[in-house]
Each structure stands twice: as structure tokens, then as C-alpha cells.
A = this chain, B = another copy of it.
């Protein structure tokens, strides 16, 4: 996927400000500081513990705007429906779109529906695009990260990916794992309102925390030193990862993000995060050091190992 993006799609499109990989674009239009983002959702199964493709399509795009430091305002909704789709399922999905949008304070203002032949889709695919308002002048991104910055993580890892995989693999837990999918703009806006000036925000979705950290380290040209003991993983997720042979750092989340903030602002930032229920278990998990664009994990037994991005495609259609 990365090679497809880097070697084929990005060069063919060749737009100077286009980033096909994350988050959104930030620009000013007629004096308004906007953020703009899109994602298509092809998650399988369409319904899973903690949500469905509809709630995910709203939350995911809301979070991409939040990672731009923007207040999510307006969404578009593009439905690609497969002929023969169960209309009750569609109604449940649309009800979740509405519920998630209301919860996140965004309005779906424009939409489109296409129907494709049976066997040319998979029930429902959804695209959402979102417009957010940046109420500040802050520039955010890996290139803004500085040596000495603290790495904060908003909560425990792995719930979304494991919730999906459990359904697919027929795993049963005593305490079922639900997706962590939730809007993240409140903790972000709370930090900004409190005068915290993060250098970079990134949600740990496809590719998990590992991908988010590796991309930040590479973009910053610095080393991220992460302490595994500070990373929270619940017992069910830990057990499922062992069973499935997954590294929890590679498992997708839909309600967790990392914030890179100046050392002097760590206490303020954590206070803001912990005041929001979605990020009440935020912790500091590491520090940025001079280095060569890599992530080093100090494990629970005190060894250091490099963290790599996930290669191959072990978790397709997770979002």
C-alpha cells in the first residue's frame, strides 16, 4: 500500500500540497482558516462491537480534522451500495451516521448515493469528507517536532482492531472487546484553549501506534524513545494479540492519538486530556531525542528495540 501510494499514486497526481496518507489539508480561503480531509470506509464486517461502518465513517473523518487542530464542522457522505443490500442494515448504519455526527457536533450537509451491481461491492462502502475550522495559527506536523518534546498517548491500545478481528475470526472473550472509535476533537481543542501548543498530533489508526510514531520520527528526522511500560493495553486485547500473533503496536485504533508537546507543557497537556472522558487515561509514553528518524522502544524487561512500520497487509479492511 505504501509503495502503491509513494511510487504510483502520488507521482501520477503530482499536486504539491497533496498528502494521500494522513489527516487533512490546511489552508485559508477568503480569510477562513480551514482543514479539509477525506476517507473511504470499507470495513468488514459492516457491524462490530462498539460501532458500524456508519459511526466509523463519521468518527474517522472527525478525527482527521481534529488532528489538524481544527474544529469539525461539516461532513459530506457518499454511499456506494451493493444491489441486494439488506435495507434494515442500511437503516442501522444511517442511524449511526446521524448519532455519531450529533455526538461530534458536525452536520452532514451534502451527500450522494450510487448503487452498484450485486457482486461489485460488499454491502456498503462509505466516503466522508470533512471541513473543519482552525481557530488558531498553529502549524502542526512531524517537521515541527523538536528534540526534547514529550510524546503523549491518549489511552490504551488495540481495541478497534481486536474488535474487528474477533468478529472475523470468531473469537469469544469473557469480556468482549468493543471498538474504541470515538471523536477526538474535544481533547485537542481543550489543549489548544489552555494554551498548549502541540507540535504534532496524529491518530493511531491503520498501522497502529507504530506507524504513527515511525512516520513522525521519519518526518522529524529525530529519534522517538518510547517506554513500553507506559503503554496501556487491556488484558483481553493483550490475550487476543498473543492468540493471533499480532504486535499490539500495529493494531488499529479509532479513538487514540499521540500528541507531541514541548516538555514545559506536559502537565498542562495531560490535565486537559485527562479532563475529557475519551482521553482520561492519557499518559506520557516517551521523549524525542536527537537521532536519525527512528523509533526505539524500551521494553518491559529493559531492552531497547527498534519499532518498525507494519509491512504486508495482515489487517486488511480494518477501517
B116:A13 contact, CB within 8 angstroms: no
**Residues of chain A in range 222-249 having any CB-CB distance to chain B below 8 Å:** none
CB of B30 within 8 A of CB of A33, answer yes
Query: What chain B residues lie within 8 Å of A313 (beta carbons)?
Result: 115
Stretch at the interface among A127-135, A136-144, A146-154, A286-294: A127-135
Given contacts A113-B4, A129-B129, contact A95 B27 (CB under 8 A): no
Which residues of A in the span 109-131 have a Cβ within 8 Å of any Cβ on B?
109-117, 119-122, 125, 127, 129, 131
State whether B76 touches A37 (Cβ < 8 A): yes
Q: A8 within 8 Å of B by Cβ?
A: yes
**Docked complex Cα distance between A78 and B18 (Å):** 12
Q: Residues of B contacting A122 with CB < 8 Å?
A: 116-117, 120-121
Interface string of A50-88 (1 = CB under 8 A from B): 000000000000000000000001101111100000010
Distance from A28 Cβ to chain B, minimum over Cβ atoms (Å)? 9
Q: Is the CB of B113 within 8 A of A80?
A: no
A1-29 to B contact mask, C-beta < 8 Å, 1/0? 10011001100111101111000110101
CA distance A87 to B40 in the complex (A): 20
Contact B12 A94 (CB under 8 A): yes
**Is B78 a contact of A38 with CB atoms below 8 Å?**
yes
Report the count of interface residues on A (CB-CB < 8 A): 67
Quote the shortest CB–CB distance from A153 to chain B (angstroms): 24
Q: Tell me, in angstroms, the Cα distance from A294 to B41 when the chains sit together.
A: 40
Which chain B residues lie closer than 8 Å to A114 at the CB level? 40-42, 317
Bound CA span A33–B178, Å? 41
A67-B31 Cα distance, complex, nearest whole Å = 23
Given A29-B34, A98-B14, A9 and B110 touching (CB < 8 A)? no
Contact among B4, B29, B117, B127 with A40 in the assembled complex (CB-CB below 8 Å):
B127
CB contacts (< 8 Å) of A303 on chain B: these are none
Residue from B13, B29, B41, B74 in contact with A94 in the complex, judged by beta carbons closer than 8 Å: B13
Binding site for B on A (CB under 8 A): 1, 4-5, 8-9, 12-15, 17-20, 24-25, 27, 29-34, 36-42, 73-74, 76-80, 87, 90-91, 94-95, 97-98, 101, 107-117, 119-122, 125, 127, 129, 131, 133, 313, 316-317
